[in-house]
Chain A
Amino acid sequence: MQLIDQHTKAIMEGCKERARDAGLRFDDESLEYVVTNRDMLELSPKIMIPTMYDYWVHDVEVLQGKGRYELYPNNPFETVINTRPAISFYNDNNPDWLNVMIFYHVLGHIDFFQNNLYYKHTWDDDFAGQALADKRAIAQLRSEKGRWVDYVIEFARSIDNMVDFHGVLADMHRSDTNGLSKKLDYYFDVFLQDEKHVRVNDYVKEIERYNKIVGEKGKDGEDDFFRKIHRKHPEFEAMFEKSNGHRRSNKNDLLQYLMDHSEFLNRDENLWMKTVLHIVRKTSLYFQPQIRTKIMNEGWASYWHETLFMRDDRIAGHEVDFARVNAAVTAMPRVGLNPYALGMRLFYFIEEAANKGRYSQEFLAMLNAEQRRQFDQGTGTGQEYIFQVRENMNDFLFVNTFIEQDFVTRNKLFVADKVLDEQRMVWQWYVKSRKVEDYKQMVKDSLYHPPHITINNEKTDESGLWLEHAFEEKPLVKEFINNTMLGLEFLWGGKVTLETTEVKSIKKPDAQPTLPGMGPAVGDEETKPQIEWQRVRYTMKDRKTSKGLV
C-alpha cells in the first residue's frame, strides 16, 4: 500500500479548496493510498482498517447468506475510513478526471463524518492509531494467554451489536456540569425511572420535594432528602453502590454491563478479558453511525461529487466520461434500492423544497394540491437547510421525515413485488404500490436494526443474568442462539437466561388466482400469512441450553 503520487495529491488539494468554497467543512489533513487487489485481500476482512486486530475468523471464508448485513454491519469495501486524518483508497489506474470525481465523493464523506452528530463520539479519535494500539495489546495478550484470547474475542464479538450507541451519544450531548451529586443523578435518572418505573406525576413530585428541601436548607438539604428515601427504599443505597456511579443504567449495553457487573470478569486473574471486551465494544461503537447513515452518507457524497464536478474547471472535455460513470452510480434501478441514487435525489428534493420555503407551518397546513404545487416563497435557504439535515439526522429520520408523496411521484418511485411463475421459471416483478406510506415503509424495513435486548435488573442476581428481547415481529435467528449464549455464559460466569419470541405456527392463506400477464390483485391484505407467536425462555447453564415456554 503506498501513498498516491504528488501529481494526484495536488489534484486532491485542489478539490479540497473548491469543496471548502462550496461550504463543506473538514480537517486539512487527509491520507490517500493506492490499493491493489492484493491489498484489498488483506484489508477487506479488516473492514479496510489496516491496523485492525488479528482474529482467525478473518482468515476463513465466512458463511454468507442469512442475515449477512445484520452480522457484519460495516461494508468492507468503503473507500473512506472515518479516522483522523481521514484515510481513503484509490485504484491504481484511475484517470485524473475520475480521481476528481472520486475525490469530491470522498470529501463529501469526510465532511459527513466530521459534521454529522451521530459521529460525535468519533470526532476526537485517530481510530487507525487506536486500532494499532489495540492490535498490539491483543497480540501481547495472545502471547500470554494463548487461544483463550481468541475465545474472549469471539464471545465479545458475538454480542457486539448489543452496545448502547444511542446512550453513548446521549451522554455526550448532555452537559455534565450540573453540579449535582452522582447519587442524585442515579436516584432520578436510574432508580426512579428504570428500577421503580414511577409515574410521571410521582416523579415530578419528587423533584418538587427536592427543590423545596434544598431551597430551605441549601446544600445540606440533600442529606435530608435522602433520609426519607432510605426509609422508603432501604435497598436504594446498595443499588447505588452496585451501579458503580453510572448515571444511566447500562441495561441496553450488554458489553458494558458485563464489564461492570460480571463477577467472573472482575476476578484478578480475568481482568485482562475486560481489555478485550473494551476493544471489541469500542470498535463496534465506532462503526455504529456508519451503518445508520448509509443512505444519507452516500446521498450526500453523491450530491457533492455531482455538484462540484460540474463546476470544476480542470476537467473540461471529460463531461461525457463523467456522465457515464455518474449515471451508473446514481441511476435509480428499475427494481432495487440504490442508496446513492435515493439519498442524492432526496437531498435535491429537500433543497428545492426548502428553497421554496415548504418546510413551514403554512405549507404543511395547505390541502389544495394546486396551491401546494405553486407554493414558492422564494426563501432560497435550501442549501443551508440540507447542511442542517446532514448535521442532525440519520437514515431513519431522513427517510421518515422527508420522503413524501411529491418525492415518490416526482421520481416515479414504487414498491415492487414479485410472483413466481413456476412453469416459465421466472419471477414476475410488478408494481405493488405507488403510495408514499408503502414506499417509506419498504425503505425503513431495509434499514439496519439489531434486536433490542435488554438486561432485566430485577431478575438478574447471583443466580444468573437475565435478558429480554423486545418483540418486534421478528424472531431471532435460531441457530445462533445457542453459541451466542454459550459465550455469554462464559463471560458472565454463570447461568444466562434469554426471553424471546418465536413463531408458533404460520398459516398461509390460499393464493389468490392471478390473471395472466398481471400480478396478484393489489391491496390483498388477506393473503398475508397468519403468524402465531409464543414467548419462550432459553436458559444456558453449564454449557447446556434448555428451552421452555413462558
Chain B
Amino acid sequence: MDPRAKASTSKALLEQLRAAGFPPGREASLRRELETGGDHSLPEAPAAPEYTPGIEVIERVFNNIYRYGDLTFIQAMSTPRGSYTARIGSLDDLMERDSKREEDGFPRKIRIGKLVKPGRSGQDKVVVVPTTVEDKFVHDSKFAEEADGGGAGGSGEGEEGEVIGEQPVRPQEGEGDGAGPGQGEGASHEIESNAYDLGKILTEQFALPNLKNKGKKRSLTRYTYDLTDRNRGFGQLLDKKATLRQIVQTNIALGRINPSEPIDTSDLLVSPQDKIYRILSREKDFESQAMIFFLRDYSGSMSGKPTEVVVSQHVMIYSWILYQYGGQVESRFILHDTEAKEVPDFYTYYNSRVAGGTKVASAFRLVNEIVAKESLARDYNIYVFHGTDGDDWDSDGKESLPEIEKMMEYTNRIGVTIAENSYGTPGESEVEKYLKGSGFLDNKPGLIRLDVMSESAEEPRIIEGIKKLISE
C-alpha cells in the first residue's frame, strides 16, 4: 500500500478509536506515534564519500603512538588472527569456566561480541565471536566526544585554518582509530561466522534449554543413523543378496556363466569388489518439522532502542534455532504496524524502518490466516515470537486476545517480548496489561510466555529473556 493511503487509514482508525473514547493522555501518545512519519522502506546504504576535487584523501589516521610496533611496521608481518575453528575448539572450556564463575558468585565474562546486520547476499550471516574484556580502572578518554585531546598530529604545508585533506567517514570506526599499520582490514577483529555458529555459542554458553525437551507432540530428532548406504569392498554388514547379484553380474560379463546350463557356483570368480556391504549413514528425519514465526512491531513508537532489543533477540533466537535443528526449521517473518505483512527474508525483517501506528492483533491474525491457509498445524510444530514495545491501539486487547487464544490451539509456544519505551511507565504498557489480565500466562504457562525488559537492556538481559520465553 502506498504510504499516503496508509497514513490516511491510520488516521481514520485513530478517529474511530477517539469515538470509542480514550483514557486520558492516550491520544497524545497515539498522535506522537503517527507523527513519527516515514515509511517502512529498507535503509539505504550509506552514501559514498564525495571529496572536494583536488584535495588529498586521507584514508586512515594513526594518532596513537602505541599502535606502532616493529614487527608489523618494519618487518611487515601481519597481525596474526586466530582461526575461528580454533577458538570454537576451546569454547567448551570457556563456557564451562563461565558457568562455574556464576556458581562461584562472580559475573560471567564471556560475551558474544559483535552482531552485525545480516547482509542481502548471505542472509543467514551475522558476525560473532566470543569476546571478553579485562576490567581495570582506566581513564575514559572519550567521555565527551568533543572534549577529547587536542586533535591529531600533522606535518607538511598549510596555513592555520586551512583544510588539508578529507577522510571518508566510516561509521564503525571511532576517532582516528583505524587499525595499526599493516594490521589488515580494520580495528574490529571479528571473524565471520554464520548464524549457525552463533547458535552453537548461545546454546552451549548460555545453557539455553533445548526446545525438544518441552513435551511436544512429536519428537524433533535431527538425524537418524541407519545402515542404509551400500558400499563395495568393505563395510559393516555384508548384504548377501546384493553381493550375490553382483557376483553373477561380474561372471556374466566375464563369460563364465552360460545361461543355457545350470550354474556351478564353485566355478564363479569372486572379486573383493563384488562384496556389497551396508554401512552406517546419516539420514535426515523428515518426519519432524517446525515453523517459527517471527513477528515484529515496526510502528513509529518502536524507533530506536526498542527495535534494537527486539531485533537482537530475534537474531539470537533465529540463530540458535538454525543451529539446534540444522536448518530443518522453517522461519516466517511478519512485520506489523496497524496492518501486518509477511516479508520474504530475515534481511528485510531485520532492516525495515519503523513508522505508523500499532495494532498487534493484525500480526496475530495474519499468523492464524497463514496457518489455516497452508494447513501448517497438521505438519509442523509452530512457534511464534513477537517483539513489541508494548504499545497497542487496541488498548484492552479486544482484538488481540481472541487471536492469541486461537493461536494457542495449535502452537507449541508463543513468546512475547516487550521492550519498554523509556517514556512509558514500567509495567504499564497495553500489551502487558491485557496479556496479564487475560489469565493466559497463568493458566497456560506452557503455551505462552511474556518477557518485559527495558529498551536499554543489554546482551545478558536479552539472553535471559530468551531463556524465559522458551524454557519449560
Q: Are B163 and A430 in contact (CB under 8 A)?
A: yes
Given the known interface contacts A90-B75, A531-B144, the answer about A430 and B162 at a Cβ–Cβ threshold of 8 Å is yes
Q: Are B168 and A334 in contact (CB under 8 A)?
A: no
Given the known interface contacts A158-B134, A449-B139, the answer about A442 and B150 at a Cβ–Cβ threshold of 8 Å is yes
Against A, the Cβ 8 Å flags (1 = close, 0 = not) of B38-69 are 00000000111111100010100111111111
- At the interface, yes or no: A41 with Cβ under 8 Å from chain B? yes
Residue on B nearest A290 in the bound complex, by CB: B66
In the complex, what distance in Å separates the CA atom of A531 from the CA atom of B140? Answer: 14
Q: Are B161 and A77 in contact (CB under 8 A)?
A: no
- At the interface, yes or no: B135 with Cβ under 8 Å from chain A? yes
How far is the CB of A240 from the nearest CB of chain B, in Å?
30
Of the residues B70, B76, B111, B165, contact of A429 by C-beta under 8 Å: B165
Residue on B nearest A500 in the bound complex, by CB: B137
Residue on B nearest A428 in the bound complex, by CB: B163
- At the interface, yes or no: B164 with Cβ under 8 Å from chain A? yes
Of the residues A41, A439, A478, A519, contact of B162 by C-beta under 8 Å: A519
- At the interface, yes or no: A219 with Cβ under 8 Å from chain B? no
Q: Are B137 and A481 in contact (CB under 8 A)?
A: yes
Residues of B with C-beta under 8 A to A337: 62-65, 152-153
In the complex, what distance in Å separates the CA atom of A91 from the CA atom of B146? Answer: 41
How far is the CB of A537 from the nearest CB of chain B, in Å?
15
Q: Are B147 and A531 in contact (CB under 8 A)?
A: yes
Residues of A with C-beta under 8 A to B154: 333-336, 413-416, 429, 431
Q: Are A522 and B161 in contact (CB under 8 A)?
A: yes
Q: Are B73 and A413 in contact (CB under 8 A)?
A: no
Q: Which of B82, B106, B137 has the most CB of A within 10 A?
A: B137
What is the total number of residues of chain A having a CB less than 8 Å from a CB of chain B? 126
Residues of B with C-beta under 8 A to A73: 66
Q: Are B147 and A432 in contact (CB under 8 A)?
A: no
In the complex, what distance in Å separates the CA atom of A64 from the CA atom of B158? Answer: 34
Residue on A nearest B161 in the bound complex, by CB: A522
How far is the CB of B164 from the nearest CB of chain A, in Å?
6
Residue on B nearest A467 in the bound complex, by CB: B137
Given the known interface contacts A294-B66, A503-B144, A506-B144, the answer about A431 and B137 at a Cβ–Cβ threshold of 8 Å is no
In the complex, what distance in Å separates the CA atom of A79 from the CA atom of B77? Answer: 11
Given the known interface contacts A73-B66, A158-B135, the answer about A433 and B160 at a Cβ–Cβ threshold of 8 Å is yes
Residues of A with C-beta under 8 A to B76: 91
Given the known interface contacts A61-B82, A158-B134, the answer about A442 and B153 at a Cβ–Cβ threshold of 8 Å is yes
Q: Which of B70, B100, B107, B166 has the most CB of A within 10 A?
A: B70
Residues of B with C-beta under 8 A to A477: 137-140
Residues of A with C-beta under 8 A to B105: 543
In the complex, what distance in Å separates the CA atom of A63 from the CA atom of B136? Answer: 13
Against A, the Cβ 8 Å flags (1 = close, 0 = not) of B409-431 are 00000000000000000000000
Of the residues A71, A72, A106, A426, contact of B49 by C-beta under 8 Å: A426
- At the interface, yes or no: B374 with Cβ under 8 Å from chain A? no
Residues of A with C-beta under 8 A to B107: 483, 486
Of the residues B50, B66, B72, B133, contact of A69 by C-beta under 8 Å: B66
How far is the CB of B144 from the nearest CB of chain A, in Å?
5
Against B, the Cβ 8 Å flags (1 = close, 0 = not) of A513-525 are 0000111011000
Q: Which of B90, B113, B152 has the most CB of A within 10 A?
A: B152
Residue on A nearest B73 in the bound complex, by CB: A329
Residues of B with C-beta under 8 A to A429: 58, 61, 152, 154, 163-167
Q: Are A414 and B150 in contact (CB under 8 A)?
A: no
In the complex, what distance in Å separates the CA atom of A66 from the CA atom of B175? Answer: 11
How far is the CB of A223 from the nearest CB of chain B, in Å?
44
Against A, the Cβ 8 Å flags (1 = close, 0 = not) of B89-121 are 010011001001000111100110100000000
Against B, the Cβ 8 Å flags (1 = close, 0 = not) of A418-430 are 1011011111111
- At the interface, yes or no: A161 with Cβ under 8 Å from chain B? yes
- At the interface, yes or no: B80 with Cβ under 8 Å from chain A? yes
Q: Are A469 and B50 in contact (CB under 8 A)?
A: no
Q: Are A61 and B189 in contact (CB under 8 A)?
A: yes
Q: Are B82 and A66 in contact (CB under 8 A)?
A: no
Residue on B nearest A445 in the bound complex, by CB: B149
Q: Are A339 and B155 in contact (CB under 8 A)?
A: no
Q: Are A161 and B137 in contact (CB under 8 A)?
A: yes
In the complex, what distance in Å separates the CA atom of A41 from the CA atom of B67? Answer: 18
In the complex, what distance in Å separates the CA atom of A472 from the CA atom of B94? Answer: 38
How far is the CB of B265 from the nearest CB of chain A, in Å?
60
In the complex, what distance in Å separates the CA atom of A446 from the CA atom of B52? Answer: 30
- At the interface, yes or no: B210 with Cβ under 8 Å from chain A? no
Stretch in B124-132, B287-295, B325-333 touching the partner: B124-132
Q: B residues 225-243 with Cβ under 8 Å of A?
A: none
How far is the CB of B245 from the nearest CB of chain A, in Å?
53
- At the interface, yes or no: A550 with Cβ under 8 Å from chain B? no
How far is the CB of A451 from the nearest CB of chain B, in Å?
5
In the complex, what distance in Å separates the CA atom of A56 from the CA atom of B149? Answer: 35
Of the residues B48, B52, B79, contact of A517 by C-beta under 8 Å: B52
Given the known interface contacts A333-B62, A340-B68, A438-B150, the answer about A426 and B50 at a Cβ–Cβ threshold of 8 Å is yes
How far is the CB of B234 from the nearest CB of chain A, in Å?
37
In the complex, what distance in Å separates the CA atom of A106 from the CA atom of B70? Answer: 9
In the complex, what distance in Å separates the CA atom of A91 from the CA atom of B71? Answer: 8
Residues of A with C-beta under 8 A to B129: 61
- At the interface, yes or no: A388 with Cβ under 8 Å from chain B? no
- At the interface, yes or no: B74 with Cβ under 8 Å from chain A? yes
Against B, the Cβ 8 Å flags (1 = close, 0 = not) of A40-76 are 1100100000000000110111111111011111011
- At the interface, yes or no: A325 with Cβ under 8 Å from chain B? yes
How far is the CB of A14 from the nearest CB of chain B, in Å?
19
Residues of A with C-beta under 8 A to B143: 474-475, 503
- At the interface, yes or no: A411 with Cβ under 8 Å from chain B? yes
Given the known interface contacts A339-B68, A425-B47, the answer about A60 and B110 at a Cβ–Cβ threshold of 8 Å is yes
- At the interface, yes or no: A157 with Cβ under 8 Å from chain B? yes
In the complex, what distance in Å separates the CA atom of A69 from the CA atom of B141? Answer: 11
How far is the CB of B385 from the nearest CB of chain A, in Å?
28
Q: Are B150 and A453 in contact (CB under 8 A)?
A: no
Q: Are B63 and A89 in contact (CB under 8 A)?
A: no
In the complex, what distance in Å separates the CA atom of A484 from the CA atom of B134? Answer: 9
- At the interface, yes or no: A295 with Cβ under 8 Å from chain B? yes
- At the interface, yes or no: B187 with Cβ under 8 Å from chain A? yes
- At the interface, yes or no: A107 with Cβ under 8 Å from chain B? no
Q: B residues 188-221 with Cβ under 8 Å of A?
A: 188-191
How far is the CB of A352 from the nearest CB of chain B, in Å?
18
Given the known interface contacts A62-B133, A151-B106, A519-B161, the answer about A41 and B147 at a Cβ–Cβ threshold of 8 Å is no
Residues of A with C-beta under 8 A to B439: none
- At the interface, yes or no: B284 with Cβ under 8 Å from chain A? no
- At the interface, yes or no: A208 with Cβ under 8 Å from chain B? no
Q: Are B70 and A79 in contact (CB under 8 A)?
A: yes
Against B, the Cβ 8 Å flags (1 = close, 0 = not) of A394-414 are 000000000000000001111
Residues of A with C-beta under 8 A to B139: 67, 70, 449-451, 472, 474-477
In the complex, what distance in Å separates the CA atom of A106 from the CA atom of B132? Answer: 33
Q: Are A61 and B51 in contact (CB under 8 A)?
A: no
Residues of A with C-beta under 8 A to B47: 425
Residues of B with C-beta under 8 A to A255: none
- At the interface, yes or no: B142 with Cβ under 8 Å from chain A? yes
How far is the CB of A515 from the nearest CB of chain B, in Å?
9
- At the interface, yes or no: B441 with Cβ under 8 Å from chain A? no
Residues of B with C-beta under 8 A to A94: 75
In the complex, what distance in Å separates the CA atom of A117 from the CA atom of B424? Answer: 61
In the complex, what distance in Å separates the CA atom of A102 from the CA atom of B106? Answer: 46
Q: Which of A337, A413, A417, A446 has the most CB of B within 10 A?
A: A337
Known: A432-B150, A438-B150. 8 other contacts (CB 8 A): A71-B138, A75-B67, A77-B71, A106-B70, A159-B136, A161-B137, A338-B62, A480-B133
- B residues near A (Cβ < 8 Å) are 46-52, 56, 58, 61-82, 87, 90, 93-94, 97, 100, 104-107, 110-111, 113, 129-144, 146-147, 149-169, 174, 176-177, 187-191
The contact sample of 8 A-B pairs, CB cut-off 8 A, is: A37-B80, A64-B189, A69-B67, A90-B75, A162-B137, A442-B149, A472-B139, A482-B135
Nearest 7 A/B pairs, CB to CB? A77-B69, A79-B70, A417-B151, A416-B154, A337-B153, A332-B155, A483-B135
